[in-house]
Amino acid sequence: MKFFTKKRIWLGITVILLAALAFFVYANREYIQQLPIGSGAKAKLLCSGIFVSGRDADSVLNVDVAFHPLFKLLKPRIDYQQKSVTVSLLGLGLFKKKAIWRDGLGAILPQDVPEETIRGWKADIPAAEPANPESVAWPTGDLMTVGPLSPQLDAAKLEAALNKVFSEPDPKHLRRTRAALVVYDGRVVAERYAPGFTKDTRLVSWSMAKSVTSALIGILVGQGKLNIKEPAPVPEWQAPNDPRKAITTDQLLRMSPGLEWYEAYAEHPVSDVNIMLFMKPDMAAFAAGKRLAASPDTKWEYSTGTTMILSRVIRRTIGNDEEYWQFPRRELFNKIGMRSAIVEADASGTFVSGAFIFATARDYARFGLLYLNDGVWQGQRILPEGWVAYTTTPSPTVKGGEYGAQFWLNKRYAADPEKRSYPKLPSDMFMAEGYQGQMIAVFPSDKLVVVRLGMTYDNAWGMAKFLEDILGAILK
């Protein structure tokens, strides 16, 4: 009898403990969901920081992947010989994620794709050009003009603007500016880097990559291989009664396909974009699998998933993986001297060109110059005529018109400048903009391109004021 009583007591205790555990897991389910996302993010960002950017591991660990308290529980193991990073909870193998480096394709999270499959891809990406950048004049090379600045520039004001953007007036809201570069009338007139970063350091684009994706689409349009007004070639949408079948590439470019999507980063880690970037082997398939939440071209929804679908549209249009992997360097980067640029891929081989391009500040400035010059580079047309005008025309689905085709605009309520996004900046300004304060701002009327790269939250670095200060250095 006593045996059965003890057995019942232990059974009761076990039930209570299991119930308590179940309640804890349920109450903290979002934290549990964050663990595999966090492992993937830490492995990927650390792998990119070390093997793509060439940075010291401690620097990346202490800053780039220390912004969320959960990351402290996720322990990395860095294999310098294999060029990989493995992360798991407390280093115990739980929620394990591994990122591997592939030459020319950056850091890749294999997910459930065999690692040897990814390492066996034959990308054969062309060598970067020009081969001797120090002896080739800017903008294609790095041989800079020597001599006094244009009399239209106030050098002291330029210096003051850079001093401010690199300063840290509030220790609770760090700016962490890593690079800033100003090009006026085709010439680099200001350039600065934070300690530990140089003109040769590749830095992450985040969503500036979306604008590069738009350029790659434009090149295909110019080659007559893609009509953006036709339904996008997306295999998941081809069922006869699937309403997504009517979505066009143009609607994808303007972020108005009507697909359901939730875009949030550190503030809401369990989001569509984080799940896609750090847990899915085929990111475009994940994004394309989203249901239609609104009729195409009736609602604007910012979505990295939409750009991933565009990346696979490029892949399917080219039709050959080796040519696809070579395409950005052959048709864009090498033609404008973007020697450092690397577009990272997912485990399916599709470029993550909605978030993960790595390049130097000078190369981002070159991309801005291409758009400043209407898609023409030193007499050679790279983008088709009219493409820059198309990408900088407000999408009719955006309330106020602050977004074009993968570019941010400043044309909101053109008849009333005070209602624009940045009322003190010119209405013809447009930007490639990314998470944590990445920016390429183009000012056609002022012959100006401004690049700023860093790791900032809450817009603490003061983008609008920085651009106003740079413009204030141009004497009119």
Which DSSP letter does residue 330 get? I
- Cα 320 from chain centroid (whole Å): 24
Tell me the pLDDT tens digit for each residue of 145-169: 888 889 999 999 999 999 999 999 9
Question: For the residues of 27-84, what is the DSSP string, one character each?
Answer: HTHHHHHHHHHHHHHHHHHHHHHHHTS---HHHIIIIIT-SSGGGGGEEEEEETTTTE
- What is the model's pLDDT at position 323? 97
- What is the model's pLDDT at position 243? 96
**Among residues of the chain, what percentage have pLDDT more than 90?**
82
Asked whether the predicted pLDDT for residue 265 surpasses 90, the reply is no
Q: Residues with Cβ < 8 Å from 81, sequence gap 6 or more?
A: none
**Among residues of the chain, what percentage have pLDDT more than 70?**
92
- What is the model's pLDDT at position 79? 98
Rounded Cα distance, 308 and 175, in Å: 29
Segment 191-214 shows an average pLDDT of: 98
Domains of the chain (ranges, CATH numbers)? 29-102 (no CATH), 178-472 (3.40.710.10)
Rounded Cα distance, 430 and 351, in Å: 24
Segment 26-37 shows an average pLDDT of: 69
- What is the model's pLDDT at position 14? 59
Asked whether the predicted pLDDT for residue 19 surpasses 60, the reply is no
Segment 256-270 shows an average pLDDT of: 90
Return the minimum-mean-pLDDT range out of 20-29, 138-147, 263-272, 455-464: 20-29
Going by pLDDT thresholds of 50, 70 and 90, the confidence category of residue 9 is low
- What is the model's pLDDT at position 30? 59
- What is the model's pLDDT at position 91? 93
Tell me the pLDDT tens digit for each residue of 386-434: 999 999 999 999 878 899 999 999 987 655 656 788 989 999 999 999 9
Of 366, 375, 429, 435, the residue nearest 402 (C-alpha): 429
- What is the model's pLDDT at position 12? 62
Going by pLDDT thresholds of 50, 70 and 90, the confidence category of residue 24 is very low
**CB–CB of 331/323 below 8 Å?**
no
Return the minimum-mean-pLDDT range out of 14-18, 93-97, 174-178: 14-18
Rounded Cα distance, 293 and 253, in Å: 17
Tell me the pLDDT tens digit for each residue of 374-388: 999 999 999 999 999
Going by pLDDT thresholds of 50, 70 and 90, the confidence category of residue 102 is very high
Segment 334-344 shows an average pLDDT of: 98
- What is the model's pLDDT at position 28? 46
Return the minimum-mean-pLDDT range out of 6-15, 197-206, 244-253, 435-444: 6-15
Segment 58-67 shows an average pLDDT of: 90
Start-to-end C-alpha separation, the chain: 98
CB burial of 71-83 (b: ≥16 within 10 Å; e: otherwise) equals bebbebebeeeeb
- What is the model's pLDDT at position 27? 42
Q: Residues with Cβ < 8 Å from 468, sequence gap 6 or more?
A: 424, 425
Going by pLDDT thresholds of 50, 70 and 90, the confidence category of residue 269 is confident
**CB–CB of 205/355 below 8 Å?**
yes
Segment 82-94 shows an average pLDDT of: 95
Whole-model pTM: value is 0.92
Segment 18-30 shows an average pLDDT of: 47
Going by pLDDT thresholds of 50, 70 and 90, the confidence category of residue 346 is very high
Paired tokens of 283:
């990111």
Tell me the pLDDT tens digit for each residue of 278-299: 999 999 999 999 999 999 999 9
What's the mean per-residue pLDDT of the chain? Answer: 92
Rounded Cα distance, 185 and 301, in Å: 35
Asked whether the predicted pLDDT for residue 331 surpasses 90, the reply is yes
Question: For the residues of 408-442, what is the DSSP string, one character each?
Answer: EE--TTTTSGGGSSSTTS-TT-EEEEEGGGEEEEE
- What is the model's pLDDT at position 23? 43
